[in-house]
Amino acid sequence: MTHHIVQLSYVLAAILFIFSLYWMNDPKTARRGVFAGIFAMFLAVVSTWIQPGIIHHDWILVAIVLGFVVGIPLAMVPLTAVPQRTALSHAFGGLAAGLVGAAKYYLWSGEGSEQLTTFRMTAIVAEVILGFLTLTGSLLAAGKLQEIKWIPQRPVTYPLQNVSNILLLLAAVGLGALLVMDPTGPWAKFAFPGIIVLAMIFGVLLIIPIGGADMPTVISILNSYAGLAAVAMGFVLDNKLLIVAGALDGSSGLILSIIMCRAMNRSFTNVLFGAFGQVTAAKADGEERVYKSETIEGAAQVLEQAELVVIIPGYGMAVAQAQNRVRELYDQLVKRGITVKFAIHPVAGRMPGHMNVLLADADIPYNDLVEMDEINSDMPQCDVALVIGANDVVNPAARYDKSTPIYGMPIINADKAKTVFAIKRSKNPGFAGIDNELYFQDNTFMLFGDAKAVVGDLAKQLSGGSGMH
């Protein structure tokens, strides 16, 4: 009887998980999706727990309580830290899969070699490799995102990097293949931990050459791995609900990775093995080029005359904590009947969709957040493009200059606007380490300074300034 209750609740949970993701297609129904997911999870946990085979309850309770104790603060992090939190939860997902795989291996090998069939052993090896490489890779990614001091932010490269990485992975897979053929041989007790160690090293080496601008893609790929690890766990435990949920997670990571790669005009292999961001400082040739700068008052006057203002935010805006000032500026402009839109590049921010969340947090209605593809056709009608903390995603060199690393990357056509204001802290180039052609255009004026201060001054000028002139 319990068996049927468990299976029925698993079926319901699978259906609810699918609807949960389906409802994410619109912000209006999205919260329903969360509730469906919570309900499904509750069903699955309770029905698993009441099975007659579960006889020790103390540790289950303790682990669940600890999960709440750690999980609740993790859900309260500031929104700029959401990418780190996400990477950390990929790590937890990988850890869970890896540990369950190891537990099953030791359990079955203790019960005799006939338990470790070829199929089970293959699945366990896949689960353990995916789980532990996701664990260390995600921890490292989280460390990079958190900007922990002893973790290098810039890509770390060394000779024969890709070759040695692939050899390492092959070694882990080779050990796995040996174990599949002879799961309880005399050397198996070394081979199994060996696989775990190799997978953990591989996870670190896989992420260490990736830096800066590629973090959104990396997070998506790790998401995919975490899902695949859950799928492998489903194969080990012969549990179809796990396979369904893991496959949903894995395909989500895959789609997001493809979107991120396309938004940077790069391939998977290029992201994983290309070591982006360490590119040539050599291009800095001698010729001094001149920026034109503009005062706050002047910029405010131009903004006042505009009909359509497009604000192009980048991660620099979030670093400067300027979101709320941006909203004040938005309010001032909207009050004057000016149309204000935000142009969101897919890789703005540090994970897919990050910029939308940061702006939504500042109370900017999502109707005014417009994707790159949609806004680009409107850019020639745009009176003022205001670039805040974005750099490479508005660099027109991506369209024509084959020598830049960002060549071919789709960009927001800020340069087509009648006037461009770019707020920039200093004259340093962006992530890709290259000059931005946009800044030297005839219609571009720089507003140097901290984004928060500059935008705040602009908003103040607009609110008070109208009476003074």
Partner 1 sequence: MMQKRKSGKVAGRAARALAGLGLALIVSVGGSLARADVTSEDEPQAISESGASMEESVPALTPEAPSLPEVTTNVASSTAQATNEHDAHAPVDYWSLLLVLVLATFIGIGVIGRVSRLLHTPLMSLTNAISAIAVVGSIVVTGADYPLEIRMFGAVALFASMTNIVSGFLITDRMLRMFKQKRGGAKQ
The site string for partner 1 over 334-353 (x = CB under 8 A, - otherwise) reads: ------------x----xxx
Written as six digits, the tokens of 339 are: 């149309």
Check residue 327 for interaction with partner 1 (CB under 8 A). Answer: no
Q: Is 137 in the site for partner 1 (CB under 8 A)?
A: no
By beta-carbon proximity to partner 1, the closer residue of 15 and 170 is 15
Which of 80, 84, 104, 208 contacts partner 1 by CB under 8 A?
104
Taking the least distance from each CB to partner 1, the nearer of 92 and 276 is: 92
Give the amino acid at 63. Answer: A
Which region among 84-92, 379-387, 447-455, 458-466 touches partner 1 (by CB under 8 A)? 84-92
Does residue 93 belong to the site contacting partner 1 (CB under 8 A)? yes
Residue among 246 and 389 whose Cβ is closer to partner 1:
246
How far apart, in Å, are the Cα atoms of 210 and each of 215, 217, 269, 276? 8, 10, 12, 7
Stretch binding partner 1 (CB under 8 A), from 81-89, 153-161, 423-431, 440-448: 81-89
- Report if residue 170 touches partner 1, rule: CB under 8 A: no
Binding flags for partner 1, 234-273, as an x/- string (CB under 8 A): xxxxxxxxxxxxxxxxxxxxxxx-xx--x-----------
Distances (CA, A) of 71 to 33, 66, 77, 367: 20, 8, 11, 32
Distance of closest approach, residue 356 Cβ to partner 1, in angstroms: 5
User: Given the DSSP bridges, would you call strands 419-424 and 369-371 parallel, antiparallel or unpaired?
Assistant: unpaired
- C-alpha distances (whole Å) from 202 to each of 130, 135, 169, 175, 199 are 10, 11, 6, 14, 5
Output the smallest distance, CB 313 to partner 1, in A: 14
Based on the shown chain and the rule CB under 8 A, indicate whether residue 289 belongs to the binding site for partner 1. no
Q: Which stretch binds partner 1 (CB under 8 A): 98-106, 196-204, 386-394, 432-440?
A: 98-106
| Cα–Cα distance, 138 to 87 (Å, whole number) | 5
Q: Are strands 384-388 and 308-313 parallel, antiparallel or unpaired?
A: parallel
Among 128, 231, 271, 412, binds partner 1 (CB under 8 A): 231
Minimum CB distance to partner 1 smaller for 31 or for 189? 31
Query: Does 191 interact with partner 1 (rule: CB under 8 A)?
Result: no
Residue of the chain from 2, 78, 111, 204 that contacts partner 1 (CB under 8 A): 111
Burial (Cβ within 10 Å: 0-12, 13-18, ≥19) of residue 373: exposed
Q: Closer to partner 1 by CB, 169 or 454: give it.
A: 169
- How near is the Cβ of 167 to partner 1 at its closest, in Å? 21
Residues 9-38 close enough to bind partner 1 by CB under 8 A: 10-11, 13-15, 17-22, 24-27, 30-31, 33-34, 37-38
Q: Rule CB under 8 A: which of 352-381 touch partner 1?
A: 352-354, 356-357, 360-361, 363, 365-369, 371, 373-374
Catalytic residue check, 392: yes
Please name which of 252, 323, 228 lies closest in space to residue 20, comparing C-alpha atoms: 252
Q: Cα-atom radius of gyration of the chain, to the nearest Å?
A: 26
Nearest distance from C-beta of residue 315 to partner 1, angstroms:
13
By CB under 8 A, is residue 197 in contact with partner 1?
A: no
What is the rounded CA–CA span in Å between residue 126 and residue 372?
39
Give the Å distances, CA to CA, from 319 to 18, 77, 135, 225, 323.
36, 15, 27, 29, 10
Select from 84, 217, 223, 419 the one that contacts partner 1 (CB under 8 A): 223
Under rule CB under 8 A, residue 102 binds partner 1: yes
- Pick the catalytic residue: 214, 249, 392, 435? 392
Terminal Cα distance for the chain, rounded: 81
Dihedral sign of CA atoms 443, 448, 449, 454 in order? negative
Among residues 351, 338, 347, 350, which one has the least CA distance to residue 311? 338
SS3 assignment, position 423? strand
Cβ nearer to partner 1, comparing 15 with 148: 15
20: tokens are 């949960």
Footprint (CB under 8 A) of partner 1, residues 38-57? 38, 40-41, 44-45, 48-49, 51, 53-57
Of 48, 235, 36, 199, nearest in space to 124 by CA: 235
Burial string for 395-410 (b: 16+ CB within 10 Å, else e) reads bbbbeeeeebbbeebb
The residue among 156 and 237 lying less far from partner 1, judged by its C-beta, is 237
Number of residues counted as binding partner 1 (CB under 8 A):
130
Active site (catalytic) residues: 392
